[in-house]
Amino acid sequence: MTSTVEKKEQNMVQFTITVPKDEFKKSLMSAYRKNIRRFSVPGFRKGKAPYPIVVNYYGEGVLYEDAIGFAVDPAYQEALAEHEIEPFSSPELEILEIGGDNGLVFTIDVAIKPEVVLGEYKGITAYRPPAEVTEEEMNREIERERVKVARLLTITDRPVEEGDTVNIDYEGFKDGVAFDGGKGAGYDLKIGSNTFIPGFEEGLVGKESGAEFDLELSFPAEYHEESLAGQPVVFKVKINNITTKELPELDDEFAKDVSEFDTLEEYKADVHERLLKAANASADATFEDNLLAAVVETSEIDIPNIMIHDEIDRIVDEQRNRMRYQGIELEQYLEYAGTSLDHFRLQLHDTALNRIKSRLVIDKIVEIQDFEATEEEVDAEIKSMAAMYGFEEEKFRESFAPETDYIKSTIRNNKAVTFLRENGIATDVKPESEADDELAEDLADVEEEAVDDADQAVDSDAENTDD
C-alpha cells in the first residue's frame, strides 16, 4: 500500500491510496469466499465453482463491492498512522481505478481537527437568571406529593364529575359500521384530560355508574386519519365504575407521611430549600451556556461542512433512539409535527455547528489551562455513576474500564466549564440581542424546541387512536 496526503481548504485533507494488484487480489478472494454460495456456474454444484471459473463466468466486477469493503479500511487506517493524522469526520470515499493491473486506487477526504483562535474567555459578563422559588412552584411541588399519597375512592352515590376517572367500554361507528381503532374495554379515562375527541369526555359528565348510552360526535376536521376527519360518528359507551382521588389535608400529619419532618412548616421549609437548590443549579447551567456562547461567538473556528453533516447525523440518531424508547419511529414522529426528515436536518444545521464549536472551545480551554483528571477524580466519578445507575461498584468498574478515557475527558471538560463560571461576571440584565440567547439555547440543547410540538402531537394522537 502506498499513500500520499494533500491539505485542502477548511481543515480538510485528501488521501490518495493505492492498493497494489497482488494485495487487492487478497480482498477479491475474501469477497469470493463471502459470496461463494450465491454463485451458480454450469458444470459445478452451486457454491463449488473455483475462483477463476467464477471470475471468468461472472466477471471480476461481481466481487468489487465487497472487495472494496475488505481493502479500503485497512489501507486507510495504515495511511492515517503513516501520516500521523487524526480524523475528525467520517471519510468520503471515491474510487479512481479498480481491477486489472491497477489494483485499487482511491481517494479519501476527511476533516482534521480545526484550529481554534480562542476569543476572550476570562472575566466575561453574561446573563444569569435569578434563582427564585415562587409560591406557585411551592404549591405545585406540594400538590404533587399530595397526589402521590391520595386515596382512591369508588363513587357510587353521584354521577360523573370533572376530575373523576371513569372506567369505560366503548366502540365507535361511522355510518353504522365500526371503524378501526375506535374500540376499547376497561379503559380508564380521566375527565378533563382531553384525551379523546372533543365532546367525548363532556358526554360522560352527569352519567351514573352502569349507564349505557350513545354519544353522537364529529371528529375534528384536521384529524390525522383522513377517513374520519370531520366525519360524524356514534360511540356506544358503558360506564363500568367511577373513581376519584381524595387528597390529604395539608397539616402536620401530611408532613409526617411524606417526609422526615414533624410539622408542615418544617416540611415547607425543606421543599423551599430543595427548590432553591434546583433553581440555583438551573441558573448556573444557563450562566455557563451563556458564557460558552459568548466565547464561541468571539472565537475563530473554520468548521468543514462534513463535520457539520456528521454532527447532524448524530443529533438525528439521538432523536431516533429517543423516539424508539417512546415506541415511535422518527419519521412518524416528524410527520405528526408537520415536517420531514430533510427539513428537520436543515433546522439542525446551526445546532450542529454550535455543538461542534462549543466542544472545540472547551478543548482549547482545557489545553491552555492544562486541566487534567486525577485518578482520585476518575475513581470518584465511577463511584458516582455506579450509584446513579444502580450497579455494584466493582461490576460497573469492570464494564466501564474501556471508557476510562471518556471519563477523564468529561472531568477535564467539566473543569473548563467550571473555570468559565468562576471567572465570569453574572448579570441579571437580559441581553438586548435575542440572537445571543438563541445561541446559548443551541449549545444547551436547541433541538428540543424543534421537537416539542411533535411531542404534543404524538401524545395527543396516540391517545386519540382509540377514539
pLDDT in tens, 383-436: 998 898 888 888 888 887 778 899 999 999 999 999 999 999 999 988 775 444
Q: Is the pLDDT of residue 463 over 50?
A: no
What is the spatial distance between Cα 353 and Cα 443, in angstroms, rounded to a whole number?
9
Average pLDDT, integer, range 145-155: 93
Angle of CA points 346, 351, 352, to nearest 5°: 85
In this structure, whether the domain defined by 2-113 belongs to CATH 2.40.50.140 is answered with no
Mean per-residue pLDDT of the chain? 90
What is the rounded distance in angstroms from the CA atom of residue 401 to the CA atom of residue 406?
10
- Choosing among 3.10.50.40, 3.90.400.10, 3.40.50.720, 3.40.309.10, the CATH entry for 151-246 is 3.10.50.40
At 101 the pLDDT is: 87
**pLDDT value at position 175?**
94
The predicted structure's pLDDT at residue 178: 94
151-246: same fold as 2-113?
Answer: no
In angstroms, the CA 41 to CA 50 distance is: 10
Residue located via cell numbers 481554534: 116
Q: What is the pLDDT of residues 43-95, one digit of tens each?
A: 998 889 999 999 999 999 999 999 999 999 999 999 999 999 999 999 999 99
Helix axes 21-35, 64-83, angle to 10 degrees: 130
Q: What are phi and psi of 234, to 5 degrees?
A: -125, 130
Tell me, what's the pLDDT at 243? 96
User: Domains of the chain: which residue ranges?
Assistant: 2-113, 151-246, 264-464
**What is the value of pTM for the model shown?**
0.71
* Model confidence pLDDT, tens digit, residues 265-283: 999 999 999 999 999 999 9
pLDDT of residue 433: 56
Pick the residue with more confidence: 377 or 338? 377
Q: 264-464 in CATH: which number?
A: 1.10.3120.10
| pLDDT at residue 441 in the model | 52
